A and B are shown apart, each in its own frame.
Chain A
Amino acid sequence: MWSMIMRFIPSWSVLLQGGFIIGFPILLTRAMSWIRISDGRLGTRTRKASGRKGGGVPAGIQNGAEKDQTHLKNRDQGDEASDQSQAVPGMVYSGRFAEDLQLFKNISDDMADINLRELRIGSLQLRAVLFFVDGLTDKDGMDRNILKPLMNAVRPFEGMNTAPEPQALKDIIVHQIVLVSEIEYTRDPVKSLEKVLFGSVVLLVDGMAEVLILGTPKGRTRVGEEPVSEALLRGPRIGFNETLSDNTAMLRRQGQNTELAMISFTVGKRIQKELVLTYIRDIANEELVAEVKRRIRTIDVDDVQESGFVEQLIEDNFLSPFQQIQNTERPDRVMAALLEGRVAILLDGTPFVLIMPVTFGMLLQSPEDYYDRWYAGSLLRSLRFLAASLSLFAPALYISFISFHPGLIPTRLAISIISSRQGVPFPSLIEALIMEISIEILREAGLRLPKPIGPAMGIVGGLIIGQAAVEAGIVSPILVIVVAVTAISSFSVPMYSAGITMRFLRFLAMFFAATFGLYGVIMFFLLLSSHLLKLKSFGVPYLGMIAPNQIRDWKDFIIRMPLQFLRKRPALIKPKDPRRKG
Chain B
Amino acid sequence: MKRRILWLLLLIQCLLLSGCWSSSAIEDLNMEVGVALDIADETEVEEKLKAAGGSYPQQHRFSCTFQFIVPQGAVGSKKEGSQSKNFYNMTETGDSVFEAVRELSLRTNRVPIGHHMKIIIIGEKLARTVTLSELTDFFSRDNDIRPSVLLLVSKGKARDVLNNALPGQTPAFVVEGIFGNQNRNSRIWQPVPLTKVLGPLHSKSSFVLQNIISSGSESKFAGVGVIKGKTGLLGGFLDESQLEGLIWLTGKGQGGFLKTKDPETGKLLNYEIKSMDSTIKANVKDGEISFEVKVESAGRFAEVFDPGGERLDEAIIRRKEKVLQDHAEGLIRGTMNQIQHELHADVAGFGTSLRIHHPAIWRKVKEDWDETFSAIPVTYKVKLNIEEYGASGTSAE
Contacts and interface: CB of A to CB of B under 8 A. Distances in A.
A160 interface: no
B27 A514 contact: no
Contacts of A416: 75
B13 A23 contact: yes
Given A414-B116, A419-B73, A419-B75, A402 B16 contact: no
Contacts, number: 99
B14 interface: yes
B29 A406 contact: yes
B10 interface: yes
A342 interface: no
A19 interface: yes
Given A406-B113, A407-B115, A419-B71, A516 B25 contact: no
B323 interface: no
Contacts of A401: 26
B76 interface: yes
B16 to A, nearest CB: 7
Given A19-B13, A407-B115, A471-B76, A422 B71 contact: yes
Contacts of A23: 9-10, 13-14
Contacts of B73: 419, 422
Nearest to A516: B21
A411 interface: yes
Given A402-B26, A517-B23, A419 B74 contact: yes
Contacts of A417: 26-27
A311 to B, nearest CB: 33
A526 B73 CA distance: 39
Contacts of A43: none
Interface string B2-33: 00000001100110110011111111010101
Contacts of A403: 20, 23-26
Contact of A418 (B17, B22, B31, B76): B31
A421 B13 contact: no
A420 interface: yes
Interface stretch (A90-98, A188-196, A354-362, A423-431): A423-431
Interface of A is mostly: helix
A26 B11 CA distance: 12
Interface residues of A, number: 39
Contacts of A470: 74, 76
Interface in A371-420: 401-404, 406-409, 411, 414-420
B342 interface: no
Taking each of A418, A515, A516, A517, which has the highest tally of chain B beta carbons within 10 Å of its own beta carbon? A418
A70 B14 CA distance: 54
Nearest to B176: A411
B118 interface: yes
A336 B14 CA distance: 48
Contact of B21 (A407, A424, A473, A515): A515
B69 interface: yes
B74 A20 contact: no
B95 to A, nearest CB: 28
Contacts of B118: 411
A477 B31 contact: no
B17 A407 contact: no
A20 B20 contact: no
Nearest to A423: B74
Nearest to A412: B173
B76 A16 contact: no
Contacts of B14: 20, 23
A401 B146 CA distance: 17
B195 to A, nearest CB: 17
A16 B16 contact: yes
Interface of B: 9-10, 13-14, 16-17, 20-27, 29, 31, 33, 69, 71-77, 113, 115-116, 118, 144, 146, 173
21 contacts: A16-B13, A16-B16, A17-B21, A20-B14, A406-B26, A406-B31, A407-B144, A411-B33, A411-B116, A414-B26, A414-B116, A415-B71, A416-B75, A418-B71, A419-B73, A422-B71, A423-B74, A427-B20, A470-B74, A514-B20, A517-B22
Given A406-B116, A407-B115, A477-B74, 8 more contacts: A19-B9, A407-B144, A407-B146, A411-B31, A411-B173, A414-B26, A418-B71, A423-B74
Which A-B residue pairs are the 4 nearest by beta carbons? A407-B115, A419-B71, A421-B27, A403-B23
